[in-house]
Amino acid sequence: MVSSNGGFAKVELRPMFSELSFNIVMRMVTGKSYYGGKDGGEEGKEFRELMEEMFEYAGALNPADFLPILKWFDYQGLVKRAVSIGKKMDSFLQGLIDEQRNTAAIAEESRNTIISHLLVLQQSQPDYYTDEIIKGLVTVILLGATDTSAVTLEWTMSDLLNHPSVLKKARAEIESVLDPDQLMDEPDLSKLHYLQNIILETLRLYPTGPLMLPHLSSDDCTVEGYHISGDTMLIVNAWAIQRDPKYWDDPTSFKPKRFESGESMGSKLMPFGWGRRACPGESTIKKLTMRDGKGLTMPRVVPLEAMCKARPIFNKAFSKAAAA
């Protein structure tokens, strides 16, 4: 948000990034906004609270995973709470599916959503694209594309504010590519090489999935001198690999220029995972604390607040929207 006179205003960015990412994803999934949007209403409030609960418990540590005897007592009530959240989420998503099923044939805007396309597939492959499968796919999209995007945006802005010269160079590149009255669109990203380097460097230092999803070794093998038996659960520490001094010069420093050569980073850079199961999403100022906090997506320990001012084009766009 900006001040009424177009100047700077102090903003806590994380909630705004969360609203942005949730709205984008929900428009893709259902064709309408839910998170912070004017058309959210009670349904939007329910969705917001439900997602906050899911993210909280997605990163919760369950001692029973390490001491199986605790499963008899549901230590800390985690299982009971998880079941309750699961039932509420299932009911909410079923409502979205039923709504899309009833309106897709009538409303044009409902025909080009993720749920509507999955319902079309359900008609041709009903045994596979059941409502349960569709709800599972939507849940994965919500969990995998919302909080992770907001966290990454916050880390990016934190680094830019800590490195004014990088911010200045990024702004100059954007102004050289885009007209003053032009909003950035996805095709413009291919022309913004320095901005892409900033994104890569942020993902290197602050991967939203610092510990990748578990894999299982198919056979006995030896890695870096360590014997690994078949059927062993393996977890790759992407955070450590992407900060390893064996592979990176000055690994803890924010240096977007390290990607200027355009050479492939191979298995040294893996913020979206690696292989067949990689994430499909792979695509003088006071120093800010860069300590990471607790959570599945490695958020900042202190929410980022910054003085923000919109580009002139945004003021024009908002004025047109308000007049419409």
Residue ranges and CATH numbers for the domains of the chain are: 9-145 (no CATH), 147-323 (1.10.630.10)
Among 83-97, 178-192, 245-259, 272-286, whose mean pLDDT is lowest?
Answer: 272-286
Share of the chain above pLDDT 70, in %: 80
Q: Is 118 helix (H, G, I), strand (E, B) or coil?
A: helix
Question: How high is the pLDDT of residue 285?
Answer: 37
Residue 318, pLDDT above cutoff 80: no
Residue 42: burial class (beta carbons within 10 Å; 0-12, 13-18, 19+):
exposed
Between 10 and 105, name the one with better pLDDT: 10
Burial letters for 192-216: b for 16+ Cβ neighbours within 10 Å, e otherwise?
bebbebbbbbbbbbbbbbbebeeee
Mean pLDDT of 220-247: 90
The whole-angstrom separation of Cα 288 and Cα 13 is: 14
Residue 235 pLDDT class (50, 70, 90 cuts): confident
Mean pLDDT of 121-146: 91
Question: How high is the pLDDT of residue 200?
Answer: 92
Question: How high is the pLDDT of residue 105?
Answer: 55
User: How much is the pTM?
Assistant: 0.73
- Rounded (5°) CA angle 178-179-182: 85
Mean pLDDT of 261-270: 76
Between 259 and 42, name the one with better pLDDT: 259
Residue 23 pLDDT class (50, 70, 90 cuts): confident
Residue 224, pLDDT above cutoff 90: no
The whole-angstrom separation of Cα 166 and Cα 254 is: 10
The whole-angstrom separation of Cα 198 and Cα 69 is: 47
Residue 45, amino acid: K
- Rounded (5°) CA angle 294-243-261: 130
The whole-angstrom separation of Cα 277 and Cα 283 is: 15
User: 279 labelled as ligand-binding?
Assistant: yes
Residue 252, pLDDT above cutoff 80: yes
Q: Quote the tokens at residue 168.
A: 């200045």
| The length of the chain, given as a count of residues | 324
Instruction: Indicate if the alpha-carbon torsion angle 109, 113, 118, 124 is positive or negative.
Output: positive
Question: How high is the pLDDT of residue 284?
Answer: 36
Residue 57: burial class (beta carbons within 10 Å; 0-12, 13-18, 19+):
middle
Residue 65, pLDDT above cutoff 90: no
